Amino acid sequence: MGYLSGKTVLVTGASSGIGRATAIAFAREGARVAVCARREDRLKDLETELTEAGAAGVHTFSLDVSQRSAVEQTLKALPEEWRAIDVLVNNAGLSRGLMKVYEDDPQNWEEMIDTNVKGLLYVTRAIVPGMVERGSGHVVNMGSTAGYMTYANGAVYCATKAAEKAISEGLKIDLMGTAVRVTSIDPGMVETEFSEIRFRGDKERAAKVYQNITPLKPEDVADAIVWAASRPPHVNIHTVVMTTIDQANSVVFHRHG
């Protein structure tokens, strides 16, 4: 039996992309997997997939992490057997627009900051005290290469990922003296619905982002998350920065052909 077998994992933003792949990867390790997302209908298929993949238990629920009182109430009201979370994957996040900051719609900033920064904080605030009390736990936050280097027209998205980096570092410091681990997983370009959501459904524009590039797949990132979470309890992986072979940093890509 592996390290993650029977452990209880909570993945936010699990209805697609990295979150979904991560939930499946933990299920394959025999973990008990709780998944939430705004789109609960999309979690129903996932529930079956997780069971088939080998999850020791599955719990799905709807949650918009940007809504503070919903986060507090929903996580407090989790069924008794799902309250002791061993691994929290703060994956929920999004990008909106690619525009000059002085021309952008503030609604875009609010959505990104409310989900990527405040949402991560709300869920962390609700789950980590239990980890501290139980003397074990692991918080895995979804960062990005965007948190290391700002790219054109992405000031606010990059700012949210720089905030994630600072929050992960700060949380690790705050948890010193406890056995709770903190990891930031920081991928570059990953082929998910990320760009389609950024461009509000413009599939053609989204496809261009990945044109002639072999991007990372959600499963590649899920692999790294499961690897970090399955180290022996005294090992804290702080960050994993990962890109496709075709990406050097936020702005340098190799496009084939």
Interface residues toward ligand 8X3, by CB under 6 A: 144-146, 188-189, 250
- Which residue of this chain has its Cβ atom nearest to ligand 8X3 in the complex? 144
Least Å from the CB of residue 215 to ligand 8X3:
9
CB closer to ligand 8X3 out of 93 and 137? 93
Concerning whether 3 is annotated as a catalytic residue, the answer is no
Q: Which of 148, 151, 157, 210 is catalytic?
A: 157
Burial of 227 (0-12, 13-18, 19+ CB in 10 A): middle
User: Of 11 and 55, which CB lies nearer to ligand 8X3 in the complex structure?
Assistant: 11
- Mutual angle of helices 68-76 and 120-134, in 10-degree steps: 30
Q: Which two tokens stand for residue 19?
A: 């979150």
User: Smallest gap, in angstroms, from Cβ of residue 183 to ligand 8X3?
Assistant: 16
C-alpha count within 13 angstroms, C-beta hemisphere, residue 230: 18
Nearer to ligand 8X3, 108 or 144 (CB): 144
- 146 vs 167, beta carbon nearer ligand 8X3: 146
Least distance between ligand 8X3 and beta carbon 144 (Å): 3
CA 114 from centroid of its chain's CA atoms:
14
Residue 30, both tokens = 């025999």
Shortest approach of ligand 8X3 to residue 211 CB, angstroms? 14
The Cβ of residue 214 has, within 10 Å, a number of other Cβ atoms equal to 14
8 A C-beta contact, residue 48 and residue 23: no
- Residues with catalytic annotation? 157
